[in-house]
Amino acid sequence: MKKIINEIKRYKIGDYFENVSMSKYTSYRIGGIVKLMVYPNSVNKLIKLLEILKESKINHKVLGNGSNVIFSDNVYDGAIIKLDALNHLKIDDTVVNVGAGYSLMKLAYKVSRMGLSGLEFATGIPGSVGGAVYMNAGAYKSDMGYITSSIKVITPTLEVKELYNSDLDFHYRDSFLQHNPGCICIEANLVLKNANIKDIMTLIEDRKQKRLLTQPLEYPSAGSVFRNPANDFAGRLIEEAGLKGYSMGGALVSPKHANFIINYDRATANDVRNLILHVQEEVRKQHGVDLLIEQEFVNWE
């Protein structure tokens, strides 16, 4: 990594940190050591960083707010790239141009208070804009696919290209980006609608109160573990399988909401992964339903 760090300094790529624990950067508060974490200052610096990493054949991954990933307890022998500096925001009437590093929750509250409707669903999603587009994050029967008109990406050949909604193949918790990991989202154009501010904020507050009552927000988690099967709910299937409150090590199927797994007692990444796979297998055995895991496993053999 010494050579990479020298290049980062030489080209003034941005801040970097060595031997960082991923438990500080994931919402589960789990994960092993990553050899290098880099915060490029701009799109051009990001492109230069990618060039450096590819030339040296260094593993790398772009990470948003770490709210939908499960890093193993193993050392990640590579670089994690954080796009926090790509956080510009421009609002022109109902069109929002925003950097991939911008907080989705912060954006949702900001536009909602301006009387722009369409992002109310995101006020409870603690991800970045880029991560939300990648995952097609959503809630309350809405998602990023409904409001994203286009995005800019860095392609595997390190060119900046615009992709439109029709290119992005948005489906339930799925997008073009998940199947083309060499493309990195750097900004998004969102199209919202004008609406009554009081109505928007009342809806947001009602949903917030419901989340506080029904979701284990007091513990580290990564939100819903499994995608809901067609015309059903993963939480219902897990609860009926008798797994609500089931634990492995320090990981627990939430007694509040069965589709949440929480780090309730210093869980390791292995605890969380093993519990997820156990729940998946039990639901398959008892209900004949193969639940799809919504969260992403990183650095597992």
224 catalytic residue (yes or no) = yes
Asked if residues 98 and 199 have their Cβ atoms less than 8 Å apart, the reply is: no
23 catalytic residue (yes or no) = no
161 contacts: CB under 8 Å, gap ≥ 6? 152, 153, 154, 155
262 contacts: CB under 8 Å, gap ≥ 6? 216, 219, 220, 221, 251, 252, 254
294 catalytic residue (yes or no) = yes
User: What gap in Å lies between CA 203 and CA 180, rounded to an integer?
Assistant: 36
Task: Indicate the residue type of 180.
Answer: N
Torsion of CA 98, 133, 277, 225, to 10 degrees: 70
The crossing angle, in degrees rounded to 10, of helices 197-214 and 104-113 is 140
The residue whose two tokens read 């919402």 is 27
Could you say which of 103, 221, 224, 254 is catalytic? 224
Could you say which of 173, 187, 254, 273 is catalytic? 173
Catalytic residues: 173, 224, 294
